[in-house]
Structure 1
Amino acid sequence: MDTALVIGGTRFIGRHLVSDLLDHDYDVTIFNRGNHDNPFADDEHVTHVEGDRTNETALELAKERVEPDAVFDCVAYAPREVRAATEIFSDAEAYVYISSGDAYGNEEIPKREGETELRPCSAEQATDDSGDSYGNRKAEGDRAIFEAAERGVNAFSVRPCIVYGPHDYTERLDYWIERVASYDRVVVPGDGDNVWHRAYVEDVASALRIVAEEGTPGECYNVGDRQLVTIDEMLELIAEALDTDLEIVHAGRNELAAADLSPDDFILYRDYPHVLDTDRLANLGWDSTPLAEAMERTVVEHLESDRDGAEYDPGREAEERVLGVLETL
C-alpha cells in the first residue's frame, strides 16, 4: 500500500495519522470540509479534497479522484456513515474505522475484543448526536465493520481509550497540566488510585497504519498505553515533564462536598477502572511510546499552545476550601 485517504486529518488523531503515514512513505489525501487550518498545506505529498463526509456523493468523488489503497475514517460518528463508507470503499485494500473503548457495554477488567459485550444501539440512538449515545453509535459502527468483512470487504476497527497528546483540542489533559504548572498543591478526588486507561495519540496513529497493513479483516483492535498509570502517577509524570515540585492532596466525597464538589467534577476521574487489553494489537508488532517520553512531548506542545482546559476547571477557590477542610482533620 502506498496511497492513503484520511477522512478528517487536520485536528488531532487524524493530524498525527497523516504524519505517521508520511513517515512511512505514503502519498496522503485528506478529505474534509476545510473548516480547520490544514497543517499540511505546504506538503507536496499531501493533497486536500474538500467535502462533507456525510455526503455519500462527495465520498464517491473522492474515491474516484484518489483511488486509495487504504482509507482511514477518523470522523465517522453515525453507524450509517460507516455502512456507506464500507460500500463505497469496498475494493480498497483496507478501510479502517476509528471506534472507541466506550463501545464496550460491560464493566470488566480488562475489556477484550470479541469477549466483552458491546453496547446496544437503538434506532433512536443511531441517529442521535449527543454525547449520551456516543458509545452506542461507535458500537453499532463496529457491527457494521463485522458485516462488511463478512461480505469480503477489508474492513477493520481500532478502539482507542482516552486519547492524549499534542494538539488535543478536547483540552482534557490540558486542565491537569495547567493545574500542575500553576500550583504546588493539587486536589485529586479519591485515593489517587483511579485508573482510566489512556492512549498516546502518536501510538493511536501508528496502530491505525499497522492494522491496515497487518490486521485481519473484521477484527477490532484495542489501543492504549501498554503501561497503565493511576491518576496520581499521571500527575507525577506531568510534574516531571514540567520539572516542578508537586504535592498531591487526596479528597474524599465528604471533603469535596464541603465545597459543593464531587469526584465527577474532576476531568479524567472514573469510579470504576477502565482498562483495555492491547495484546491483539501488540501481536501485530505494535508498541506504545514510553510514558515519560509521551508526556514530555505532550507538555512541551501544551506550553506552546493557548489551551488551558478552563472549561473543566471546578474552581480554584472551591479547591482551596477543600484544602482548608483537610487541614483541620
Structure 2
Amino acid sequence: MVSFTSINWPNRILVTGGAGFIGSALVRQLIAETDSTVINVDALTYAGNPESLAEARHHPRHVFEQEDIRNRPALDRLFREHRPDAVMHLAAESHVDRSIEGPAAFIETNVTGTQNLLEAAREYWQALEPAARERFRFHHISTDEVYGDLGPNDPAFTEETPYAPSSPYSASKAGSDHLVRAWHHTYGLPVLLTNCSNNYGPYQFPEKLIPLMILNALEGKPLPVYGQGDNVRDWLHVEDHAQALRRVLEAGRPGRTYNIGGRAERTNLEVVHAICAHLDELRPRPSGRHEALIQFVTDRPGHDRRYAIDDSRISQELDWQPQESFESGLRRTVEWYLENTEWVQRVQSGAYREWLETNYGHRGVAE
C-alpha cells in the first residue's frame, strides 16, 4: 500500500462537515497522521461540535471556518483564500428520522449545498495551473442508503446497484451523488465518490441508534426499538471509515465510486442486546439486566429492511479492509461513552431533548 506521505498526497485539504461525527474523525486522523493543513468548514448546526475535534482543534495545521455550504459567496472566498489541493465533502443533514419530520432542510443542504460546492470547486479548479489541475480531487462522501433496501437473501450492494432511495434523507443524498457524477462527465471535474454503511464510534451525536441506546440505558430509560428490531444494517467503525476515505483520496481513480463497509451485518435488536451485555458487565443495574429496558415501538414510515455492502472494489483495487471487528469496536464505543460523560452532557441540549419527544413520543409501544 502507498503511504499517506506519497508525492500525490495533498498539502491542503478542505473538509466540509469537519465538526460532525464522521468529519471530526477524519480531521483528527488527518492532523495526527499526515502533514496536511486542514481547512475545516462547518456550519455548526445541532450535530456539529468543535469539541469532537479533540487535540486537532487547536493544532496549527487546523484552520476552522464556520460557514454554510448553502452560502455560495462564502465558498468562493474559502477557495480563493485557502487554495486547497483537494476537497472532502461530508457536510450533510444525515438523520432519516429528522428527514421524515422536516425534509426541506435535507434538500437545501444535501442537494443545493452540494451544487454550490461543486460550482465553487469547478471555477477554482479550471483556473489552476495544469499541474495543480491534474492533482486536484473532489471527494464526495455518501451513504449506502441511496441503493434502497434488500431482502434477507439478496446479494449485497455493489457500486453498480441501481439507486432506489426510500426516505427524504436518502433521496437527497442520491441527488447529490448524481450531481457529482454529472460535474465529472460534463465538466471533467476529477471527482471520487464513496458510499458507506452505518457508522458508529466515539463522538457520535446521541440521536443515532448506538449512542441513544447506551445513554438511555445508563439513565434507566426505555430502549425504543422500531418494529420487531429485525432491520439489518452493516456496521462500520468510524475510524476505519476515515482510513478508507484517506485511501480513496490518495489512490482512487477519478470518476469512480467505492463502497465502504464494515463486514458486520447485525439486526437492530442484536445490536441493542450486545450493548446491554457490555453495560451489564461495565455498569450493572441494581434492579436487573439492561435488556429489561427494551421496548418495541411503532416502526417509522418506509423503514428499509436490510443494507449490506460488497466492498470488493476498494479491497482489491486499493488494498483496504476494516481493522475493527464489530465486537471490539462496540466494546470500545461503550467504554468511550462511559468515560466521556461531560462531552455527552454538553451535547444533550434542550433542542435535542425536544427532538427526542417529537420523534419517539407519539409512537407508543408496538402492539
Instruction: Confirm or deny a common fold (TM above 0.5).
Output: yes
Identical pairs, percent: 25
Question: Deviation of residue 186 (structure 1)?
Answer: 7.0
Equivalent residue, structure 2, for 1:67: 83
1:287 matched to 2:324: no
Partners of 1:155 and 1:217 within 8 A in 2? yes
1:79 matched to 2:114: no
Question: For residues 224 and 298 of structure 1, what CA distance do their matches in structure 2 show?
Answer: 18
Cα separation, partners in 2 of 1:78 and 1:192, compared to 1, 3 Å: closer
- What secondary structure, in the 3-state scheme, does the structure 2 residue paired with 1:64 have? helix
Equivalent residue, structure 2, for 1:133: 168
Cα separation, partners in 2 of 1:113 and 1:59, compared to 1, 3 Å: farther
1:9 equivalent among 11, 18, 36: 18
Question: For residues 12 and 200 of structure 2, what CA distance do their matches in structure 1 show?
Answer: 27
Partners of 1:156 and 1:216 within 8 A in 2? yes
Cα separation, partners in 2 of 1:59 and 1:145, compared to 1, 3 Å: same
Residue 280 of structure 1 aligns to which amino acid in structure 2?
R
1:223 equivalent among 260, 277, 284: 260
Please report the TM-score for the alignment, with normalisation by the length of structure 1: 0.76
Question: For residues 221 and 206 of structure 1, what CA distance do their matches in structure 2 show?
Answer: 13
1:171 matched to 2:214: no
Question: For residues 360 and 114 of structure 2, what CA distance do their matches in structure 1 show?
Answer: 37
Partners of 2:40 and 2:63 within 8 A in 1? yes
4+ runs deviating over 4 angstroms? 34-37, 179-193, 244-251, 307-310, 312-315
Partners of 1:187 and 1:248 within 8 A in 2? no
Partners of 1:241 and 1:292 within 8 A in 2? no
1:24 equivalent among 20, 28, 34: 34
Cα separation, partners in 2 of 1:240 and 1:31, compared to 1, 3 Å: same
- What secondary structure, in the 3-state scheme, does the structure 2 residue paired with 1:216 have? coil
- What secondary structure, in the 3-state scheme, does the structure 2 residue paired with 1:25 have? coil
Question: Deviation of residue 199 (structure 1)?
Answer: 2.4
Equivalent residue, structure 2, for 1:155: 191
Question: Deviation of residue 279 (structure 1)?
Answer: 2.1
Question: Deviation of residue 70 (structure 1)?
Answer: 1.7
2:336 equivalent among 297, 301, 305: 301
Q: Which moved more, 1:221-230 or 1:63-72?
A: 221-230
Residue 35 of structure 2 aligns to which amino acid in structure 1?
D
Question: Deviation of residue 17 (structure 1)?
Answer: 0.8
What are structure 1's unaligned runs of at least 5 residues?
121-130
Question: For residues 103 and 223 of structure 1, what CA distance do their matches in structure 2 show?
Answer: 13
Equivalent residue, structure 1, for 2:102: none
Cα separation, partners in 2 of 1:240 and 1:248, compared to 1, 3 Å: closer
Deviations 1:281-321 (A, max 9, x none): 22322222222332123212322223789727968xx77xx
Question: Deviation of residue 34 (structure 1)?
Answer: 5.3
Question: For residues 155 and 226 of structure 2, what CA distance do their matches in structure 1 show?
Answer: 23
Cα separation, partners in 2 of 1:42 and 1:148, compared to 1, 3 Å: same
Residue 225 of structure 1 aligns to which amino acid in structure 2?
G
Equivalent residue, structure 1, for 2:68: 52
- What secondary structure, in the 3-state scheme, does the structure 2 residue paired with 1:28 have? strand
Question: For residues 215 and 70 of structure 2, what CA distance do their matches in structure 1 show?
Answer: 36
Equivalent residue, structure 2, for 1:125: none
Deviations 1:126-160 (A, max 9, x none): xxxxx942211211211112222223222122222
Residue 334 of structure 2 aligns to which amino acid in structure 1?
V
- Structure that is richer in helix per residue: 2
Partners of 2:137 and 2:249 within 8 A in 1? yes
Please report the TM-score for the alignment, with normalisation by the length of structure 2: 0.69
Deviations 1:29-54 (A, max 9, x none): 11234565534442112012333211
- What secondary structure, in the 3-state scheme, does the structure 2 residue paired with 1:14 have? helix
Question: For residues 26 and 241 of structure 1, what CA distance do their matches in structure 2 show?
Answer: 38
Aligned-pair RMSD on alpha carbons?
3.6
Deviations 1:109-137 (A, max 9, x none): 344344321137xxxxxxxxxx9422112
Question: For residues 34 and 164 of structure 2, what CA distance do their matches in structure 1 show?
Answer: 35
Paired residues in the alignment total 299
Question: For residues 73 and 197 of structure 1, what CA distance do their matches in structure 2 show?
Answer: 22
Cα separation, partners in 2 of 1:88 and 1:235, compared to 1, 3 Å: same
- What secondary structure, in the 3-state scheme, does the structure 2 residue paired with 1:89 have? helix
What are structure 2's unaligned runs of at least 5 residues?
1-8, 93-108, 126-134
1:118 equivalent among 163, 176, 181: 163
Residue 142 of structure 2 aligns to which amino acid in structure 1?
S
Partners of 2:159 and 2:258 within 8 A in 1? no
Equivalent residue, structure 2, for 1:89: 121
Partners of 1:192 and 1:230 within 8 A in 2? yes
Q: Which moved more, 1:205-214 or 1:276-285?
A: 276-285
